[in-house]
Amino acid sequence: MQKIEKAFDINGVLLKVFSSLESIKDERKIELIYEMEASIPKELKGDVVVFTRLLTKVLTFVFQNTKTKEIVLSLHAPDDFLYEEFISFKLNDIFIPKERIQDYLENNITKELEILEGKIIYDKDSDVQLNIPFQINELGYRRHYRLPDIGMLGKKVLLISESKKITQSIKKMFTYFLYKVDIGFEEFKKQGNDLSQYDILVIDDCIATDTFEQIVAKVQKKIPIKYVLLRDSHTHEVPHSDAVSTYLIKPVTQESIFELIAALFHNDIQPVANRPEVSKCILDLEKILHKNISVKAEVSSIDNLSSGNLNRIIEKEKELKNPLLNIKQGEENTQKMGLIYTKELKKFVEIFDRSDIYFRQIVNEKASNKIKDFCIDLEKHSKLIGAESMFRFADIVSLIFVYDKLDMLPIYPGKYHIELQNLLEAIRKHLNIKS
């Protein structure tokens, strides 16, 4: 097959690949994150059809076989991208045996690699690395995303999300435009809990609450801060307060950040250095937002974990006192998705009543795939209704697969039986009060 070259936008390809993976992504509850170096040109020349097919095939394989909940595809290129250079596409921490990865790559994508003149790189520091040559579409340009006005450069961002991998990737993309980015509550505390020094506040949609948005609205009357919600592409539209300036939709690409900045500051291009002095705005964001990062989020954000950490994590989990049914949180979750809380409670009872018998059966059968699918389903429904203790239980069972400690599974059917009976009792009690 002949190589057909034409100009294409790398961001468009990444979004198209994401769209083609959306069903398996939702089924397996896996987050796809793009991490793009500043040296990656926006517009390239190459065989975009074959390239798109190659990325889709590789990521589909990874999604079907991984034990992690966050997949980061990193794009790297030389700093001096003059005409034609190799772009590296890397995947790490995907928890698939290297022999299995190598076997798949060598038997399933060689045709595409041959057309693209790319190659598989066998590097001990990467689970997957593919190097593919592309030409730059605009010769001589060093900066590939040009904001309409220089006054849009060099602003300051506070970014708060449960995922460190997402925040690190977004930080890198903001840095392209010479932005200073502080991540999380700790960095905010180091800045004196002073919100007035920031131009943009980006908050993960799953953390934000109606109460917080009311607070932001009051803050915006004192300081000119833009409030951005980071949200999933499939999130149902729900009304938000006027405090929300706009949304940043996942997966985030470099063009997403470019478009976000242009939209936020098209009528306000005054550089930070020339901005009028404003009074300090001290807020304890951690307290206001009721920070509650799950153990799984912590695990997915730490590199090079060893299986010896599992016992430490489980012991830490036991110390947490999570409510059986956080009704307020459940009502907020369902409202954001346009659902009715009591109906979702009834649905949970219908789905999981007597599921402890099924769980014991699949554990006895050592049916790994069935157990993983069961935990994914249990996590999804538990999180939605605010069943925080049950969500943590499913979290721990999932970690057993991440660390390949299946010998620990037999103790969990009994634990699940007790957890389930207590939760169903709490749900039925709430439904009887409502009826």
Mean pLDDT across 389-396: 86
| Segment 158-192, tens digit of pLDDT | 999 989 999 999 999 999 999 999 999 999 999 99
Reduce the DSSP state of residue 337 to 3 states and report it.
coil
d(CA 210, CA 331): 12
Element (H, E) at 434: helix 412-434
pLDDT at residue 396 in the model: 80
* Tokens at 252, concatenated: 């985030």
pLDDT at residue 315 in the model: 52
pLDDT at residue 306 in the model: 42
User: Using alpha carbons only, what angle is made at residue 153 by residues 151 and 157, rounded to the nearest 5 degrees?
Assistant: 120
DSSP 388-410: HHHHHHHHHHHHHHHTT-GGGGG
The share of the chain scoring above pLDDT 70, in percent, equals 85
By C-alpha distance, which of 389, 375, 396 is closest to 427?
A: 389
Please state, rounded to an integer, the average pLDDT across all residues of the chain.
85
Mean pLDDT across 265-280: 66
Mean pLDDT across 104-121: 96
Q: Which amino acid is at 299?
A: V
Reduce the DSSP state of residue 239 to 3 states and report it.
coil
d(CA 132, CA 119): 7
pTM: 0.68
pLDDT at residue 404 in the model: 60
* Tokens at 295, concatenated: 């153990």
Listed range (4-18, 33-47, 274-288, 370-384) with the worst mean pLDDT: 274-288
Is residue 165 within 8 Å of 33, Cβ to Cβ?
Answer: yes
Mean pLDDT across 244-249: 93
Most confident range, picked from 56-60, 239-243, 312-316, 328-332: 56-60
Q: Is the pLDDT of residue 411 over 90?
A: no
* Tokens at 75, concatenated: 């794009």
Residue 300: other Cβ atoms inside 10 A? 19
Higher per-residue pLDDT: 28 or 128? 128
Q: Is the pLDDT of residue 237 over 60?
A: no
Helix 368-385 × helix 388-402 angle, to 10°: 150
Q: Is the pLDDT of residue 370 over 60?
A: yes
User: Residue written as tokens 């991440």?
Assistant: 402
354: left (phi over 0), alpha (psi -120 to 50) or beta: left
Q: Is the pLDDT of residue 142 over 60?
A: no
All residues at 6 or more sequence positions from 220 whose CB lies less than 8 Å from its CB, including other chains = 227, 243
Sheet-wide strand order for 200-204: 180-183, 156-160, 200-204, 226-231, 244-249
pLDDT at residue 290 in the model: 64
d(CA 172, CA 178): 10
* Tokens at 417, concatenated: 């039986």
DSSP 248-259: EESSP-HHHHHH
Reduce the DSSP state of residue 103 to 3 states and report it.
helix
pLDDT at residue 27 in the model: 84
pLDDT at residue 211 in the model: 82
